[in-house]
Structure 1
Amino acid sequence: MIGFLEAATSFPSVIYTVLLGVVLVYWLLSLVGIVDIDSGPVIEAELHTDADVDEIGDLASYLVAMGLNGVPFSVVLSLLVLVSWTVTCLAAMWLLPLVPTSLLRGIAGLAVMLVALALAIPVTARLIRPLRGLFVTHSAISNAALVGQECKVLTATVDEKFGRAEVATRGAPVNIRVWAETPNTLGKGSTARILDYDASGARYLIAADERID
């Protein structure tokens, strides 16, 4: 048996260790508002997304078939990497040391990588089931019903390409994609006015409103 750190940095675990590092950096950046968690498409069971169905193509059908739908693709990919990494590390600690030669260990390592990914798919599908309710697509997001209302900025900055805001409703607050002309004074916690809806990009144009306290 080998140690955990040695297992995580040896083949085949090291492949998923690198990918896991990329995933961790992504989520750290999302926590400080530099990247948008929901910027990718949310693949629904019937392909009801803000993205064009032709652009999603075969990928969407595969995700739905495997049960990897209803949450942002970034969440799906992160869980796939995490589960695959866990399986390969355990195999590197307990199974691969039992293989007698380096050549056979290399072949076994490749097999472990594939098996780990295969196991990660159903496990990830099971894990995302309780998360789907957090990413329900509301009809108000896909039309101009919110134009003229106030919103609260959720990201550190808002520019022509990136931004996220929250709109208060009678029920739960609605999380929307937004953009704004630069330069501007918008930042996390700022209040703004929704000026227009861009149907092609499924996002709203916002601007700071001096009348908003």
Structure 2
Amino acid sequence: VGRSLCALVALLLGLGQATDALELELLAALPIRGLENAQPSGLTMADGVLFAVSDKHDHAICRIDIRDDGARLEPFITFNAPWSGTWATKLDFEGLAFADGSFYLVSESCLRVLHVNENGGGLDWITPNVGKAATEAGLFGVKNAHLEGIALLGPRRILLAVEREPRGLIEVSWEEGADEDEPQIKAWATDETMLTLPEPRAVDFADLHLDGGGLYA
């Protein structure tokens, strides 16, 4: 990530400085079986179990079982989301997070976050449409390159990733005692990078992950 993004992440998390780059090692690459046309688009871990959403399945949070010969993906929770306030024909889930017994799903078509309890109840769109704030910050310039990941920074702070052209971050937060329908929404473009990418590929975000006080993308 670029220096401006590192500074932004440090500011959001209250950190003094960004951490050094980590060396990654590929441990395995496994085929996914089970759910037809699965195409996982969001991933999270809860109590040692992997869960995923798919941009091809609007009504399920799936469990991923890792095996020696591959991974199997099966519906864990099925649900019918309430109306989002838009006329989108598909919810197009592109991010998933878990905290305190609840899942949080990012809908790219609705530009909102859906809350689902681990028992399948508590269905509620907990954020408003973030399109206006994103557009005012110069984001959402390309069709189908909008919301692409989520991290829960705290009980009342959500960070969303914007995929590309430009890529960016959107923070949705609620002050103590504030109405649930009136959060603060801040958006930034974060296209700078220290990585060398082949032309004509644009810098992009695929997901966000918060771990041990550090934010990763």
Q: What range describes the TM-score normalised by the shorter chain of this pair?
A: under 0.3
The alignment's TM-score, normalised by the length of structure 1, stands at 0.23
Structure with more of its chain in helix, by fraction: 1
The alignment's TM-score, normalised by the length of structure 2, stands at 0.23
Structure with more of its chain in strand, by fraction: 2
Greater radius of gyration (CA): 1
Bigger RCO (CA 8 Å, 6+ sep): 1
